Amino acid sequence: MNATIPTTLAQGLDAIVQTNAPLAAHTWFGVGGSADMLVQPKSEDALRELVRRCFMENLPVRVLGSGANLLVLEEGVPGVVVKLDQPAFTQWTLRPDGDANSVLAPAGVDVLKLLNTCVREGLDGICQMAGIPASMGGATRMNAGGKYGCIGDAIQAVATMNNRGAITVHPRNAIQFSYRHSSLPQELILWTLLQFTPDNPDTLRTKMLEIYKYKKNSQPLAENSAGCLFRNPIAQDGTRASAGRLIDLAGLKGFTHGSAFVSAEHANFVCVHKNGRANDVLELARIIQDRVRDSQGVQIEMEVAVWGRSFEPKEKM
């Protein structure tokens, strides 16, 4: 274990703890290095105590969701990585407090599994998430979505925990959602309250499958990829330009760098071959940015988070 982490950090915690933990299998790219420590708390109390201890030791804390929007470099990740995949953080509650059209979803909930359940229950509100792999915490943080809408469309409240373990509930009217962004503080997301509209389950199933079919036909869902690598930039008229189209116009569809390549199906998807290198993905991303800037005069920014010892997280807890 890295010498900067005290051996007593996780002592007595109700959690699964692994040191020098490989993270590749926890990400959709399937490549990359290890975390100094990976902790999977089994309760909210264990999570609270862990973040308190990390704060006292001045250790960075990163939360790993579904790994669908993340690139972990071979150099590894310093500090503590928290994964909320134990039952206390993955079991949602339909109709909490007697509200017939709401769902309380902890941060570790698989959004696609929740979507399927809501469709069966005749609850409409997150069909726009069809084909978008995400945990509820990660989806809420970045207001995940696409052509058909965003998760923020259905959010009514969010609970966060700060680095001292204090919990705050943020009502919808106190949260601003925009393209791949929420105004939530840089704290750990505990749960999200979603509001739905009743509808016919068969109608919702058709709607969900149509959205999924569109994504399947236009995106390389079977490849090792983190989804769209770049944010759609703001065009001169104030609208969002398609990063994929800009990359295509730069002649980069199918372009390869080491073990990484630009998808021939959708140019904003960068994929990596099995047993490839995360650094190849990062280097290819930089090549794409340079080519798009030189040919189109537009600077595109990465949407995918990059973790590594040489990378300070843009958003700290």
Catalytic positions: 180, 228, 303
Q: Classify residue 219 by its DSSP letter.
A: S
Q: Report d(CA 115, CA 120) in Å as an integer.
A: 9
Q: Is 136 left (phi over 0), alpha (psi -120 to 50) or beta?
A: alpha
Q: Report d(CA 269, CA 105) in Å as an integer.
A: 29
Q: Report d(CA 112, CA 117) in Å as an integer.
A: 9
Contact 270, 34 (CB under 8 A): no
Contact 194, 128 (CB under 8 A): no
CA dihedral 173, 174, 178, 182 (to 10 degrees): -140
Q: Count CB atoms within 10 A of the CB of residue 130.
A: 23
